[in-house]
Chain A
């Protein structure tokens, strides 16, 4: 397997950057400045090599064959599951289901856990901050069952109103589904308090951790949620692999979601016996290479240390916030006291789409648009924002480049 970098002592971002081949690219004859990790992060060599090594040396279907390759593939796949379990401190590997990503995880919970038990008038609670992937699956479910989707309001800083949340919890609330970190604004939800309040009332809980897991230590047993979902491609692993954690007791009571191979113990035309956890929720041949890549990404993150990554990124956030806030006509959107490492902003007289084009011409990749969080855009009365999001490989020099390019765009277009 590929070597994992050893970084004793301090955090050397220039050394980290060498681990990411794409960062050596030039875009429009400028060094790539990649500030779009919240949309999808880049992959280190350790991940790329782990996937390639599996494809070259160990590929076969998992949990099926007695032959050597199948046993090797199964061992690698299950070792990746165990890495995930340890990384988020789940109690058991049976609670870790591999899915395509956070979106699929939430749809799985909606359809397998909620749909069979929802009655018309039951309530599903999300916050106003949610990504569309934590809104639309519930709207579909409401259409199927007559349940009602309710959103907890936010304030002008982008902070969710906890008192309003407490008032909204009621006898008809069947699930609370909340983003741990907002993808559009960076707000970090004090999720423990939200989960405690739901648990006291016996309400099922789901946390969308897609924007949290790459940036901070997540301890699922300490959080005490029933479900926690996240995506590999936002934590330096490939696309098409993600994780749904489910508390074993809750998972075990759920019927299967999709039917097929892998998720069964025996099949006959008189009836089928479903497999144990977690395989019951992994119908069909899974994304074996993706899971192995995710395992390698976790090794990589742990070798550096989530606390060190978090401190580096918070430094970038503070630096970027101070620099951008001083730009005349620039408004930061999302100013919660506890934020993850991204800045969303608008500039008077400068449309995000135009700004994005100017930045791209200078090799700077940012996200412009509604960030799949149109209710947030609606709340702030903007059609779109520009979002620069930082990963462990970003530098202050790159933020300087962003700052200079924004000033250039203002001179050119305003």
Chain B
């Protein structure tokens, strides 16, 4: 068990200085995500036009994995369509849950989260933001990873 594999420099950096953190007044889609067991709370704001994410922000409180994952996600999905986001979520989900997943160049910086799959109790921390974004884009309002 190598902690350095979980808390890679990219993760620690995005936890210390989360990108796109805060409210987004121009948002036309948003959702809450809760992880009741650890108390993580996330709110995702999305501004969409012509089926493309023009801007995204998030706020709330969570562990380093959940905060870094949301920060990395916010960078990765900007400028993407719903279909592209769903496809990317599928890749992230495979990376987080499948021990035999091969490196996937399409993940870019999101690959920093690959170490999470060695820590099953933490997979839901990393996936909370994606479920929340999915709820925001599909018209749901609250998701829970429990």
Contact = CB atoms under 8 A, between A and B. Distances in A.
Q: At the interface, is chain A mostly helix, strand, loop or mixed?
A: helix
A28 interface: yes
Interface string B59-77: 0011111000000000000
A26 interface: no
27 contacts: A28-B1, A351-B62, A351-B63, A351-B64, A352-B38, A352-B63, A353-B63, A354-B7, A354-B63, A354-B64, A354-B65, A357-B3, A357-B6, A357-B119, A368-B38, A369-B37, A370-B39, A377-B39, A383-B38, A383-B39, A383-B40, A383-B41, A383-B61, A412-B7, A413-B7, A413-B12, A413-B15
The 5 closest A-B pairs by CB, nearest first: A383-B39, A351-B63, A353-B63, A384-B39, A354-B64
Nearest to B39: A383
B91 interface: no
Nearest to A368: B38
B39 to A, nearest CB: 3
A368 B1 CA distance: 20
Give the interface centre of A28, A354, A377, A413 by most chain B CB atoms within 10 Å.
A354
B125 interface: yes
A370 B37 CA distance: 7
Contacts of B38: 352-353, 368-369, 383-384
Contacts, number: 44
Task: Using C-beta atoms within 8 Å of the partner chain, give the interface range for chain A.
Answer: 10 to 19
A55 interface: no
A221 interface: no
A28 B62 CA distance: 26
Given A383-B40, A413-B12, 11 more contacts: A354-B7, A354-B64, A357-B6, A369-B38, A369-B39, A370-B39, A383-B38, A383-B39, A384-B38, A384-B39, A413-B15
Nearest to A350: B64
A358 interface: yes
B122 interface: yes
A361 B39 contact: no
Interface of A: 28, 351-354, 357-358, 361, 368-370, 377, 383-384, 412-413
Nearest to A360: B1
B69 to A, nearest CB: 13
Contact of A357 (B15, B37, B122): B122
Contact of A358 (B3, B41, B65): B3
Contacts of A412: 3, 7, 12
Nearest to B67: A351
B145 to A, nearest CB: 13
Nearest to B40: A383
Give the interface centre of A353, A361, A369 by most chain B CB atoms within 10 Å.
A353
Contacts of B15: 413
A363 B57 CA distance: 37
Contacts of A358: 3
Contacts of A361: 1, 3
Give the interface centre of B15, B62, B64, B125 by most chain A CB atoms within 10 Å.
B64
A7 B24 CA distance: 66
Contacts of A370: 39
A358 B40 CA distance: 18
Contacts of A377: 39
Contacts of A368: 38
Give the interface centre of B15, B41, B62, B63 by most chain A CB atoms within 10 Å.
B63
Nearest to B121: A357
Contacts of B62: 351
Nearest to A28: B1
B29 to A, nearest CB: 25
B48 to A, nearest CB: 30
B42 to A, nearest CB: 12
A119 B121 CA distance: 45
Contacts of B119: 357
A123 to B, nearest CB: 29
A377 B1 CA distance: 31
